[in-house]
Amino acid sequence: MVQRKTNRERKRITAIAREYAEKGYDVNVSPNRDELPEFLQSFRPDIIATSYNENVAVEVKAGKNLIKSPYLPKLAKAIEDNEGWRFEMVVTNPRRKNEPIEDDIDVLNKEDIIKRIDEIKHLLEIEQIEAAILLGWSAIEGTLRLLAKRERVKIKRRTPSYVAKKMLNLGIITQEDHDALHDAIELRNSVIHGYKTAQADSGVVVDMLAIVEGLLV
């Protein structure tokens, strides 16, 4: 079932489609199944942009919807396996930083997080580092929320730095874990706000996964 797009996502899709069209690409927004190449017919990319030099499949997601997107690694792998194609994932700006998170506190349970870890490891294998960073943080945040719920701790704000600091102050994570998360937060913020992340390091994601796996024990 195709997930309904938010207004923010739809606006971003329109803007990206226009950018590709201005560069001379043939652009197809929300292509039908029969308009997709065979290897993509099990997916519904938001945009297909084609040119003489390359073909691009674009997926646009808001931060909250990214957390709920189990098919992202499969889409990335399908594209990676086909020469001449490139996958572009665009994340729209997150909600205002002081907005509460109680509405999605149960987005990920323990089984969801374990499955997400496998997805992140696969993204690392195919060198989709930015996608791994974003899903890695969703796993971190989901795990911290589970622990907070178990300890009956109310998390008032959704910002990554607040969540990490709150768990450190309560002794749920160590100072070493907190320091590693600080690096992850910086990369996560760069990706989610649309900045280039040439410095993105898979080692940061590996550290994130180690923290999640340690907390889930």
Q: Are residues 11 and 85 in the same domain?
A: yes
Q: Are residues 117 and 212 in the same domain?
A: yes
> What single DSSP character describes residue 92?
P
* Strands across the sheet containing 55-61: 26-29, 47-50, 55-61, 85-91
Residue partners of 4: CB distance under 8 A and separation at least 6: none
pLDDT of residue 1: 47
Distances (CA, A) of 54 to 13, 51, 86: 19, 5, 7
pTM: 0.56
Percent of the chain with pLDDT over 90: 17
Of residues 97 and 125, more confidently modeled? 125
Strand-pair partners of 59: 89
Q: Are residues 77 and 102 in the same domain?
A: no
pLDDT of residue 61: 79
Q: Are residues 156 and 120 in the same domain?
A: yes
Q: Are residues 71 and 129 in the same domain?
A: no
Query: Quick one: average pLDDT of 148-172?
Result: 73
Give the residue from 65, 93, 121 where a domain finishes.
Answer: 93
48: helix, strand or coil = strand
The domain tally of the chain equals 2
Q: Are residues 99 and 84 in the same domain?
A: no
Q: Is residue 111 very low, low, confident or very high in pLDDT (cuts 50, 70, 90)?
A: confident
Q: Are residues 106 and 211 in the same domain?
A: yes
- Whether the per-residue pLDDT at 150 is higher than 80: the answer is no
Do 104 and 19 meet the contact criterion of CB atoms below 8 Å apart?
Answer: no
Q: Note the pLDDT tens digit of each residue in 4-28.
A: 777 888 888 998 999 999 999 999 9
Q: Are residues 40 and 4 in the same domain?
A: yes
Q: Are residues 61 and 87 in the same domain?
A: yes
Q: Are residues 18 and 7 in the same domain?
A: yes
State the Cα–Cα distance between residues 77 and 65, nearest whole angstrom: 20
209, two tokens: 């996964």
Residue where the block lists tokens 């280039």 = 196
* Range(s) of the domain holding residue 114: 95-217
Give the residue from 61, 93, 125 where a domain finishes.
Answer: 93
